A and B are shown apart, each in its own frame.
Chain A
Amino acid sequence: MSEMQLTMNESKGTVLSSSEAKDNIKKEKVKGIIFQIMCVIAALFGIVSLGALLMYVIYEAAGWLDWQFISSSPSRFAEKAGVLPPLVGSSFVIALVALFSLPLGVGSAIYLEEYSKQSYLRRFIEINIANLAGVPSIVYGLLGLGLFVSTFNLPHGIVLVGAFTLTLRVLPIVIVSSQEAIKAVPDLQRHASLGLGATRWQMIRTVVLPEAMPGVLTGTIIALANAMGETAPLIMIGAATTMFTPPHGIMSSFSALPLQIYAWSDFPQSEFQHGVTPAAIVVLLVIILSLNGIAIYARNKFYQRNRQK
C-alpha cells in the first residue's frame, strides 16, 4: 500500500490524504466482510431452518413410527392409527406414473433430439414443454377433473385418474432431463453406427438409448419423487383424504400419503398433531429422499463412468 493509493472518491475530484485513504480502505474492507457474512447466512438460512424442522419432526415421530403404524389403517384413536392404505395408494399410483411417463417422456425426447433437428415444430413443442413446467400443479388437477372425470366419465378419485393426472404433471421434467441425457451422447458414436449401415431407429435403440439410459432414469426418478409429494392435483380429482382399505385395482378409490397428512394436520388432538402426523411425514420424506438419493447416486456413477472413458 503506497501513499499514492487513491480511493474511489477520486472520481468525484477530491484527492484524499493518505490517512483518510487508509480509513476508507478499512471501511470498505469491513463492508465487504459484513456482506460476505450476510451471503453465508442467506445460503444457510433455508438449510438450517429446514434441518431444525426435520430434526424436530423426527423427534416427535420417534415414539409412533413402528410396524403397527406402517401396517394399520387410519383410525380416530391415535395409538391404533396407521398409514397402510395411503402408503399402498401412493406406491400404486407412482408405479403407474413411472410406467406411463418413462416411455412417453423418452419417446418425446427421442423425437425432439433425433428426428426433428432444428425445425420450427421442434421449437414450438419445446416452448410448450417449458410453459407446461410452469403451470401450477392444482391446474393439472382441474385438467384431470375436467378431462378424465367429466369428459371420459371415469369415476372420481380412482387410481387410474390419479396416475394419468400426475403423469401429465411430471412429463415436462422427464422430457427435459431425457433430452439432456440424449444430447450428452457424442455424435461420433451415432456416425459410427450409421456408417455401419444401421437405420436411424436401430442406431437409437442400440447406441443412443443404452448410453443415455442412466441420465434418463435419474431424471425420471426425480420426477417420481416430485409426484410422490403432490397433493393439490389429487384433491381436485376427488381422491379421498382418508381411506380405510388399500386400493385393490386401477379402478378403485385411493388415498395418498400427502392427502392423509393433510387430513391429519387438521386434527386438534395433540397425539395427532405431535405424534401421528409427524410419523406419517417421516414415512413420506424417507421415500422421497431415498428416491432423490438413488437418483443422485445413479448420476454420480454415470459421470464417473463417462470420465473414465
Chain B
Amino acid sequence: MDLDIHKQFRVDIKEHIVRYIFFSFAFLSVITTVGIVIVLLTDSVIFFSEVSIVEFFTSTRWSPTIKPVEFGVLPLISGTLTFTLVTSLIAIPAGLLAAIYLSEYADERVRSVLKPTLEVLAGIPTVVYGYFALVYITPMLKSFIPQMSTFNVLSASIVVGIMIIPTIASISEDAMRAVPNTLRHAAFGLGVTKFQVTTTVVVPAALSGIVSSFILGMSRAIGETMAVTIAGGNLSRMVNWLKPGDTLFEPVQTMTAAMVEIGISDVTGDSVAYRSLFAVGLTLFLMTMVLNMVSQYIKRKYREKY
C-alpha cells in the first residue's frame, strides 16, 4: 500500500513538471515579443540620444556611413510606400479576382489543383524573386521602356506582387465562401446574372475579409526585403509620386533595403550607424504591427454573422 502512495506521488509530480515545461514553451512566444520590443527600444533610445528624433523624422537625407552622415528616415519611408503602393496595384486586383474565380466559378476539381499551386507562389524565397526581377524582368521591360533604370521599383513590385497573390486570394476566398448560399440563391431568384450576384451580393457581404486581406498583403510588402534590395537599387531619395516615371522606373531604397545595406557593411557594434538599424527596425516593426492589428480588427469587427 505504502508503495502505491509513493508511486502515485511520483506520477503527480511528473504531471506537474510536464505541465510547467509545456507552459514555459508556450510562454516563449510572449518572451519573443517582449524580446523584440526590448532589443529594438534599447538601441533606439541610445540612437535618439545621439541623433535627434526631429532630425530622424524630418530630414530628407539618409546617409548612415558616407560623410556628412545624416539620419533622415523620410526617404526610406518614401521608398517603402512607393514600393508598397505599386505592389498593391498588382497584387490586389489579381488576388481579388483569383479569389472570386476560386470561390464562385471554379468547380471542385479545378479548385483542388489551383489552390495548392497558387500557394507555391508564396513558397519561393524572396531572394529568388529578386534575381528574377533584376535579371529577367527588368531587361524585358527595358525593351519596351528604354528610359527605365537597371534598378527600379516596377520590376521588384511585379515579382513581389506575384508572391503576395496567394495571401490575398486565400483570405478573400475564405471570406467569400463563408457567404451563405441562401443569399446567392435569393439574388438568382430575382433573375440577375452570376456576374451581378458576385459583384453586388457576394463581394459586399465578404468585404470585411477582403479588406483585411488587402491590408495584410500591404503589410507583407512593407516588410519584404530581398527582392527590393536586389532589384530596387539602393538609392535613398524622396520619390515624386506626381511623376509616374520617377515613381516606377527609377531606383529607391526601402527601410528594409537600408537595413540590409548596413547589415552587410563593416559597421561595428558600437557606432551610430549600427544603432540606426534598430531605429529603422522599430519604425518598420510599428508600421507592420499597426497594419496587422487593423487587418485583424476589421476582420473581427465587421464580420457579417450568418
Contact = CB atoms under 8 A, between A and B. Distances in A.
Interface of A: 5-6, 8, 28-29, 31-32, 35-36, 38-43, 45-47, 49-50, 53, 56-57, 103-104, 107-108, 110-112, 115-116, 124-125, 128-132, 134-143, 145-147, 149-150, 168, 171-172, 175, 199-201, 225-226, 228-232, 235-236, 238, 241, 258, 261-262, 265-266, 273-274, 277, 281, 284-285, 288-289, 292, 296
Contact-residue size bin, chain B (C-beta under 8 Å from the other chain)? 35 or more
Contacts of A232: 126, 225-226, 256, 259-260
Nearest to B28: A104
Contact of B225 (A6, A103, A130, A137): A137
B296 interface: yes
B264 A108 contact: no
- Chain A contact residues: helix, strand, loop or mixed: helix
A241 B126 contact: no
B120 A50 contact: yes
A139 B44 CA distance: 14
A122 B32 CA distance: 16
Interface string B117-161: 110110111111011101110000000000000000000000000
Given A35-B195, A147-B39, A274 B135 contact: yes
A125 B264 contact: no
Interface string B6-50: 000001001100110111011111101101100110110000000
Contact of A229 (B127, B196, B289): B127
Given A115-B22, A142-B36, A236-B263, 11 more contacts: A42-B101, A108-B22, A108-B26, A134-B216, A136-B223, A136-B285, A138-B260, A138-B281, A143-B32, A168-B32, A231-B226
B227 to A, nearest CB: 10
Contacts of A32: 193-196
Interface of B: 11, 14-15, 18-19, 21-23, 25-30, 32-33, 35-36, 39-40, 42-43, 93-98, 100-102, 104-106, 114, 116-118, 120-121, 123-128, 130-132, 134-136, 162, 165-166, 169, 191-196, 198-199, 216, 219, 222-226, 229-230, 256, 259-260, 263-264, 269, 277-278, 281, 284-285, 288-289, 292-293, 296
Contacts, number: 251
B230 A132 contact: no
A107 B22 CA distance: 5
Contacts of A284: 125, 128
B98 A43 contact: yes
B190 to A, nearest CB: 9
B189 to A, nearest CB: 14
B26 A107 contact: yes
Contact of B124 (A5, A31, A50, A104): A50
Contacts of B191: 5-6
Nearest to B100: A39
Contacts of B106: 43
Given A46-B121, A229-B126, A288-B123, A128 B23 contact: no
19 contacts: A31-B193, A45-B162, A46-B162, A47-B117, A57-B132, A108-B26, A125-B30, A134-B216, A135-B288, A139-B284, A143-B35, A171-B29, A229-B124, A229-B125, A231-B125, A232-B225, A238-B263, A289-B120, A292-B120
Nearest to A149: B269
A41 B262 CA distance: 41
A42 B100 CA distance: 10
A125 B14 contact: no
Given A29-B193, A42-B101, A142-B281, A273 B33 contact: no
B226 A42 contact: no
A262 to B, nearest CB: 5
A49 B163 CA distance: 11
A181 B259 CA distance: 37
